[in-house]
Structure formats: structure tokens, C-alpha cells
Amino acid sequence: MYKQTIFSRIISRKMLADILYQDHLVTAFRDIKPQAPIHIIIVTNKLIPTVNDVNARDEIALGRLFLMAAKIAKQESISDDGYRLIINCNHHGGQEIYHLHMHLLGGRPLGPLIT
């Protein structure tokens, strides 16, 4: 069993968050330190530490991450102008919380990278 994360607490509703979507596979909520006007975290409910820990049983949940990203981008009115999806993996990839998650960012031109 992996160590529970702050995301685990949000998923279980033991920690408050602005949750936009939740089902049995994924949870989406607004980032508390947004890097763009729209910054939403979409996380697997199952604690998967990194992309390196994904296995075939996770395929449906990972597909749901992308489906929800597209749906939420449309709801937030950023789908037409565009948005960025980011998944970091491990220290050199910039991962800070070891619970697989995707950042959905938009609402302004993001340029080649977010700094």
C-alpha cells in the first residue's frame, strides 16, 4: 500500500476543495495555486504514484482523465482557444505530489512553456 497523499484526502472529502467532477475513477478540482486563469487538477482516485507505476488495469481510469479534461475545458469555455495538459513524472519531471494527476491549464496564451 502506498502512502496517502493530499489528493487522497481531497478524493475522500476529508479535505475541502473546489471539486468540479468526481466519479469512481477520477476527481477534478481547482488548483489552490493556479498557474493560469484556469488551472484544474484531474487525479486518479486509485493512488498510482507515477506514470512509471501504471499497469494495464489502469487503462480505463487514464482514459477518463483525458475525457474529463476535454469535458471540463469545454465547460470552462477554453476548448476553442486551446489549453495545455501536463503530467509530470518523478523529480526531474517536476512531480511534487506522488499521486498520478494531470494539470489542465488555460484561459490565456500559455506560450511554449509555463515558467
pLDDT of residue 41 exceeding 80: yes
pLDDT tens for residues 86-107?
A: 999 999 999 999 999 999 999 9
pLDDT at 113: 75
| Angle at 44 (CA atoms; ends 99, 13), nearest 5 degrees | 90
pTM of the model: 0.94
pLDDT at 24: 98
Following DSSP, what letter does each residue of 4-29 receive, concatenated? P-HHHHHHTTSS---EEEE-SSEEEE
pLDDT of residue 27 exceeding 90: yes
pLDDT of residue 115 exceeding 80: no
pLDDT at 3: 81
> Which residues have a catalytic role annotated?
101
Q: How many other C-beta atoms lie within 10 A of the C-beta of residue 83? A: 21
Domains of the chain, each with CATH number or no CATH = 6-106 (3.30.428.10)
